[in-house]
Amino acid sequence: MKRIAGQTALPPRAADAARRRLLQLGAGAPLALGASGAATPARASIRTNARIVIAGSGLGGIAVANRLSRMLDGARITIVDRKEEHNYQPGYTLVATGVWPVDKVRDRNAEFQPAGVTWVRDMVAAFDPAANAVVTAGGQRIDYDFLVVATGLHLDYAQIPGMDVAAIGSNGLASVYPGPQAAQATWAAMQSFAQKGGNAIMTLPATPLKCAGAPLKMTFMLRDRLRQAGTLDKSKVRFQSALGAVFGVKVVNDNVLARWKDLGVGVEFSRRLAAIDIGARRATFVSPEGEKEELPYDFIHVVPPMRAPDAVKNSELSWKEGPFAAGGWLEVDKATLQHRRFPNVFGIGDINGTPRGKTAATVKKSAPIVAANLVSVIAGGKPEVSFDGYTSCPLLTREGSAMLIEFDYDGKLTPSLPMIEPLQDSFFAWLLKVRMLKPAYLAVLKGRV
């Protein structure tokens, strides 16, 4: 167990308030959470009247809410999020490549939230961790004793002049990220491009990404759709990476590049999408030295830069220095997922300023840890469970086959089962992606796995 840097460095007012409340919470109640509590369901609940606010009701927020409502007896849990529809985001790549119908990624948040929580249908406009309060866009102030930040991330299309999310699906413009509609429109654009063939450009920004494998999956699948349509010989697929690589884990990166070489997918590095002219089908790329090049295209897949939502980025909760400061990511300890300066705050999911790991698979492994550590803190103790940064990405390589890549904070491959070969084209990995991972996701959401 790591000690948490700055754990006691609360601003005095907040520290006193937090301490006072902790003393009122019946902190001595027994806790049935061992050091291995990450993977095991809690057996007994502790009595507390703590007020817990969860900002965001995506996968992370609901998974933690379900766990806390079972582990705590008497806690007053409030979820703040305006979004009513729940989207199974890992399914977007399947919708955008014609494997799934769009309704498979659409559910209702209300179906998954635990009974007894208060749902404030609004967005957090400001976090005030010094005063232990959040303020919603509608002006409602909600005080808390403990806060879980689960806001996900912001797709910053605004950083690409000329980009219009509403135009996805027309003029060869594709982007899988914004939501079910965009995924469906991306499939429409891909289909019409595959019929004729031509120049395709696939982009990758330099920021941390949610599901960093998605841009690669889109590239593999586009190439496969061209092959199936018989237009591959009339087409050119070029991947433009703003980084010096296409994937953050070296063995995977090297493997993908070798595959693309064989498949005829061209790759250029250090080229950031700087602007787009949708009507003229021209994209401008810029090098780190500021050199600009305009490329014509028939099909483009735009991956936006990503950062923390404004409410987090502009608050005291974000990293103020280091590699995560620019994106305004949540300043959590990467092992305990507890905030480094505000110990009554935890982070779950894409918002966390931790190395790698913006995936549903990360939430699967970290939601039990956040819940266990938060309960420890509520009980007057310290976070006891550590997260190793597990993340996973079933990388579609063509229709019918995928690679099941799992790794940790250090980029070390960590297959769940020893016999799985991460870099092997596999029917099983495909089956997992198209049939088994949504059921697994639902079990995570319900706080069971």
Partner 1 sequence: MYEIWLASNIVWEMALTVWPLLLAAAVAWLLLMTAAVRRPGARLRRALPAALLCAAAGAFAAFVIVPGAVGSSLGELGYWVDVANLAAIAAGCGVAVGAFAWPLAAIFRARAA
Using CA atoms, how far apart are residues 60 and 402, in angstroms rounded to an integer? Answer: 26
CB closer to ligand FAD out of 56 and 169: 56
Binding partner selected for residue 93 from ligand FAD, partner 1, none, CB under the kind-specific 5 to 8 Å limit: ligand FAD
Q: Which two tokens mark 71?
A: 């582990």
Residues of the chain by 3-state class (helix, strand, coil), percent to 5: 30, 25, 45
Using CA atoms, how far apart are residues 125 and 325, in angstroms rounded to an integer? Answer: 19
> Closest by alpha carbon to 403, among 182, 248, 255?
255
Asked if residues 176 and 96 have their Cβ atoms less than 8 Å apart, the reply is yes
Q: Which residues bind partner 1 (CB under 8 A)?
A: 39, 99, 399-401, 416-417, 419-421, 424-428, 430-431, 434-436, 438-440, 442-443, 448-449
Catalytic residue among 99, 124, 211, 221: 211
Binding partner selected for residue 176 from ligand FAD, partner 1, none, CB under the kind-specific 5 to 8 Å limit: ligand FAD
Instruction: Considering only the stretches 34-42, 208-216, 221-229, 241-249, report the one whose residues sit in contact with ligand FAD under the rule CB under 6 A.
Output: 208-216
- What minimum distance in Å lies between the beta carbon of 394 and partner 1? 13
Catalytic residue among 393, 396, 403, 445: 393
Using CA atoms, how far apart are residues 20 and 43, in angstroms rounded to an integer? Answer: 28
Binding partner selected for residue 425 from ligand FAD, partner 1, none, CB under the kind-specific 5 to 8 Å limit: partner 1
Using CA atoms, how far apart are residues 38 and 376, in angstroms rounded to an integer? Answer: 12
CB closer to ligand FAD out of 152 and 447: 152
> Closest by alpha carbon to 88, among 101, 104, 99?
104
State the residue for tokens 């469906």: 184
Binding partner selected for residue 55 from partner 1, ligand FAD, none, CB under the kind-specific 5 to 8 Å limit: ligand FAD
CA atoms within 13 A on the CB side of 85: 10
State the residue for tokens 């080229």: 271
Per-residue binding string, ligand FAD, 89-108, x by CB under 6 A, is xx-xx---------------
DSSP string spanning 342-379? Answer: -TTEEE-GGGB-SSS--SHHHHHHHHHHHHHHHHHHHT
DSSP structural state of residue 2: P
Using CB under 6 A as the binding rule, whether residue 444 contacts ligand FAD is answered as no
Using CB under 6 A as the binding rule, whether residue 389 contacts ligand FAD is answered as no
- What minimum distance in Å lies between the beta carbon of 251 and partner 1? 17
Binding partner selected for residue 401 from ligand FAD, partner 1, none, CB under the kind-specific 5 to 8 Å limit: partner 1
Using CB under 6 A as the binding rule, whether residue 354 contacts ligand FAD is answered as no
- Judged by CB under 6 A, the residue of 211, 300, 308, 377 near ligand FAD is 211
Active site residue 66: no
> Closest by alpha carbon to 37, among 10, 16, 67?
67
- Residues annotated as part of the active site: 211, 393
Binding residues for ligand FAD, per CB under 6 A?
Answer: 55-61, 80-81, 83, 89-90, 92-93, 123-124, 150-152, 176-177, 210-211, 214, 309, 311, 349-351, 358-361, 363, 392-394
